[in-house]
Chains A and B, each alone.
Chain A
Amino acid sequence: MAPVSTVTPEELRMQRERILERLGLTLDEYLERARLSELSGAEWAVRDDLDAIAFLLGEDEFVD
């Protein structure tokens, strides 16, 4: 069966910080760019990760 890794809230928040730092955006700026359908290719590439982080943190605010 597939292995499972456990991730803490701190690790998830740090991962999100690293992603957004690479993009040079805040989370609110990213979500606003997504809302306006203005994501670049590099911003699209991290979309699943940001969605998953929000979900695992129980935030339920996804990118769309």
Chain B
Amino acid sequence: MSEHRALVRARMFASELTTTVQSVLPDSPEFLARVNADATRLQLSPFEADGETAASMPLFIGGEKVAVWRLTMLLDLDSSGEYLKVTKSNFALSALVDRTPLVRFEFDDAMHTAPAAHWQFHGERGAFSFLLGIAKANHKDVKPHSLASLHFPVGGARMRPGVADLLEFLVRECGFDALEDWEQAIREDRARYRTIQARTIARDMQAEVAAVLKAAGWDVSPPADVVETGTKFLRGW
């Protein structure tokens, strides 16, 4: 029996991810896929030798390993083979001296109580905690002792940063060692990711896209049934 088409796409996605990461950061491992028994859900991560523990990836400055980062993606597969969706992804940067993350970027498509795509910073600032303390005293659902509990929104499901953006953050903003020609790999991955996101947005916003295309001189006519799914895109946090 031929392999589930969505599974083939997932394997390709894992290979692309490996190529990008290994083209940017030295000594990066391979991303592998682990799928559940009914082939509906899939995990993409680098794994330890046991094949089940998500592995941290090394980060170097001046050739010395000083930090690690983690990236795990959880995807839904559908039976038609047409549908491969990142449902959740976790990115975290940690120093070697303390496994508590320094910063995290996370996406959780099902999240309703916080922005679906968000950064969390594991740092403290007295004045901010003081403000949250006032909110707490006024019965607001906040945690003054932990600024890491704050979710900083970044563009929602469709406009969230991609892996290339996270990698460039590590190299350009944090100063970790990168391989020669890392920028080319970043550019290619970013273009691939944003093309996928643009196509998804176009599917969500067909009437808007058609209007823009008409204004640009395209000849566009609607199908019998126009299916738009843009409500979540437009209104989701």
Contacts and interface: CB of A to CB of B under 8 A. Distances in A.
Interface of A: 1-9, 11-12, 15, 36-37, 39-42, 44-45, 47-49, 51-52, 55-58, 60, 62, 64
Contacts of A55: 41, 43, 74, 87-88
Given A5-B35, A5-B51, A48-B72, A36 B110 contact: no
A47 B70 CA distance: 11
A47 B74 CA distance: 13
Interface stretch (B94-102, B181-189, B226-234): B94-102
Q: For the side of the interface on B, what is the size category?
A: 35 or more
Contacts of A8: 37
Interface string B28-47: 00111111110111110100
B148 A52 contact: no
14 contacts: A4-B32, A6-B35, A11-B52, A37-B148, A40-B100, A41-B99, A44-B99, A48-B45, A48-B70, A51-B74, A52-B54, A52-B74, A55-B74, A56-B41
B18 interface: yes
B179 interface: no
A37 to B, nearest CB: 4
Contacts of A6: 34-37, 39
A4 B72 contact: no
Given A44-B100, A58-B36, 8 more contacts: A4-B32, A5-B34, A5-B51, A37-B145, A41-B99, A51-B72, A56-B35, A64-B108
Nearest to B114: A64
A2 B14 contact: yes
A60 B76 CA distance: 12
B200 interface: no
Contacts, number: 107
Contacts of B206: none
B9 to A, nearest CB: 10
Given A4-B34, A5-B34, A58-B41, A45 B99 contact: yes
Given A2-B11, A15-B52, A52-B45, A60 B32 contact: no
B22 interface: no
Contacts of A9: 36-37
Contacts of B72: 48, 51-52
A2 B74 contact: no
Contact of B88 (A5, A36, A51): A51
Contacts of B100: 39-41, 44
Contacts of A2: 11-12, 14-15, 18, 30-33
Interface in B74-95: 74, 87-88, 90, 92, 94
